[in-house]
Structure 1
Amino acid sequence: MSFGRAFSFLWGANTASNLADGLAFVSIPLLAASLTDDPRWVAGLATVYALVRLLAALPIGVWVDRADRRRILVAVNLLRGVAVAALALCVHFGVGGLLLLYLAFAIIGSLESAADNATVSLVPGIVGERNLDRANGRISASQIVADEFAGPPLGGFLFAFAAAAPIFAMAGLWAAAGFLALALPKRPAAPPATTPPERTRVWKEAAAGTRWLARHRTVGGLALIGALASVGYMLPFSVLVLFAQQQLGVDTAGYGMILATSAVGGLAGSFAAPRMRGRFGYRWTISASLLLGAGSLTALAATHSGVVAALLLAVYIFHAVVWGICATSLRQRLVPDELRGRVNASSRVLGLLGLALGSALAGVLAAGNIALPALAGGLVFLACSLVAAYLFRDLGRTGTPGRASAVPAGPAP
Structure 2
Amino acid sequence: MAERVRLGGAYRKVYAAAAVSNLGDGVAQIGYPWLASAVTRNPLLVAAVVVAQRLPWLLFTLPAGVITDRVDRRRAMIAMDVLRATLTLGVAGAVLGLGDGLPAPDELASVQGTRTGLYLVIVGASLLLGGAEVLRDNAAQTIIPAIVPTEHLERANGRMWSAEQVANTFVGPPLGSALLGISFALPFLLDAATFAVAAALMALVAGRFRSRPATHAPGADPDAAAPPASWTTDLREGVRWLWHHPLLRTLAIVLGVLNAIGAMQIGILVLYAQEVLDTTPFQFAFLTMGAAVGAVAGGYAAPAVKRTLGSGPSLWLTLAVSALVPTVIGLTSAWPLVLVAFAFEGLVAVIWNVITVSLRQAIIPDHLLGRVNSVYRFFGWGMMPIGTALGGLVVVAGEPLWGREAALRAPWFVAAAVGLALCAYAVPRLTSERMDSARAAAGAEAVAS
Tell me the TM-score normalised to structure 2 length. 0.77
Query: Structure 1 residues 239, 129: CA separation in 2 closer, same or farther (over 3 Å shift)?
Result: same
Q: Which moved more, 1:311-320 or 1:9-18?
A: 311-320
Query: Which residue of the other structure, out of 109, 124, 137, is the alignment partner of 1:116?
Result: 137
Distance 1:377 1:150, change over 3 A: same
* Equivalence map 1:48-67=2 (5 Å): 48-67=52-71
Percent identity, please: 29
Instruction: Read off the aligned partner of 1:55 and give its amino acid letter.
Output: L
Structure 1 residue 94, shift from structure 2 partner? 6.7
Question: Post-superposition shift, 1:386?
Answer: 4.2
CA-CA distance at 1:301 after TM superposition: 4.5
Structure 2 residue runs without a partner (length 5+): 100-116, 214-219
* Aligned mates of 1:377, 1:128 — CA distance in 2: 38
Contact 2:267–2:391 under 8 Å retained in 1? yes
How far is 1:101 from its partner?
4.6
Go from structure 1 to structure 2 and tell me whether the alpha carbon gap of 1:227 and 1:204 turns closer, same or farther (over 3 Å shift): same
Q: Indicate how the Cα distance of structure 1 residues 355 and 79 shifts in structure 2: closer, same or farther if over 3 A, else same.
A: closer
Residues in 1 aligned to 2:264 and 2:86: alpha-carbon distance in whole angstroms = 36
| Aligned equivalent of 1:105, options 120, 126, 129 | 126
Task: Say if 1:77 and 1:388 are closer, same or farther in 2 by CA, change over 3 A.
Answer: same
Question: Do the aligned partners of 1:394 and 1:401 also contact (CA within 8 Å) in 2?
Answer: no
In 1, the alpha carbon distance for the partners of 2:41 and 2:271 equals 19
The AA in structure 2 aligned to 1:215 is H
> SS at 2:277's partner residue?
coil
Who is 2:254 aligned against? 225
CA contact (8 A) 2:162 2:296 kept: yes
Alignment partners' CA distance in 1, 2:254 and 2:416:
14
Letter in 2 for 1:186: R
- Tell me if the contact between 2:173 and 2:286 (Cα under 8 Å) persists in the aligned partners: no
In structure 1, what is the Cα distance between the partners aligned to 2:129 and 2:245?
A: 32
Judged with a 3 Å threshold, the aligned counterparts in structure 2 of structure 1 residues 361 and 182 are, in CA distance, closer, same or farther, namely closer
Compared CA separation, residues 197 and 393, structure 1 to 2 (3 A): closer
Letter matched to residue 252 of structure 1: T
| Corresponding residue for residue 234 of structure 2 | 205
Indicate yes or no: 2:208 matched with 1:186: yes
Q: How many residues align?
A: 403
AA aligned to 1:75 is: A
- SS of equivalent residue, structure 2 residue 427: helix
Pair 1:45–1:376, CA change in 2 (3 A): closer
Distance 1:42 1:361, change over 3 A: closer
2:384 is equivalent to residue 380 of structure 1: no
Does the 8 A contact of 1:132 with 1:329 survive in 2?
Answer: yes
Match of 2:359 in 1: 330
Instruction: State the 1:162 CA deviation.
Output: 4.4
Aligned partner of 2:114 in structure 1 is none
CA contact (8 A) 1:216 1:406 kept: no
Aligned mates of 1:217, 1:57 — CA distance in 2: 21
For the residues of structure 2 that align with 1:175 and 1:213, how far apart are their CA atoms? 35
TM-superposed deviation, 1:14: 0.8
**Pick from 17, 20, 24: which aligns with 1:16?**
20
Q: Give the one of 54, 69, 72 matched to 2:73.
A: 69
Moved more, 223-232 or 76-85: 76-85
Alpha-carbon distance in structure 2 between the residues aligned to 1:397 and 1:204: 28
Query: Per-residue displacement from partner, 1:168-227 (whole Å, max 9, x unpaired)?
Result: 32222111111111232322687469xx97643323322221111110011111101101
Is 1:296 equivalent to 2:329 in the alignment? Answer: no
1:157-172 correspondence runs (5 A): 157-172=178-193
Which residue in 2 is equivalent to 1:279?
Answer: 308
Specify the SS of the correspondent of 1:252. Answer: coil
Separation (CA, whole Å) in 1 of partners of 2:46 and 2:427: 42
Q: Are the counterparts in 2 of residues 59 and 203 from structure 1 also a CA contact under 8 Å?
A: no
* Alignment partners' CA distance in 2, 1:297 and 1:42: 20
AA partner of residue 301 (structure 2): A
| C-alpha RMSD over aligned residues | 3.6
C-alpha distance after superposition, 1:36-62 (max 9, x if no partner): 457476554333222234222111111
- Identify the match of residue 135 of structure 1 among 149, 152, 156: 156
Relative to the length of structure 1, the TM-score reads 0.83
CA shift digits 1:294-325 (9 cap, x unpaired): 33344445556544443233212222221122
Partner SS state of residue 310, structure 2: helix
Corresponding letter in the other structure for 2:244? R
The answer as to 2:172 corresponding to 1:144 is no
Say yes or no: does 1:252 pair with 2:279.
yes
Q: What is aligned with 1:155?
A: 176
Unaligned ranges ≥5, structure 1: 409-413
CA–CA distance in structure 2, aligned partners of residues 280 and 319 of structure 1: 13
Pick aligned residue for 1:393 from 407, 431, 447: 431
Distance 2:83 2:34 in 1: 23
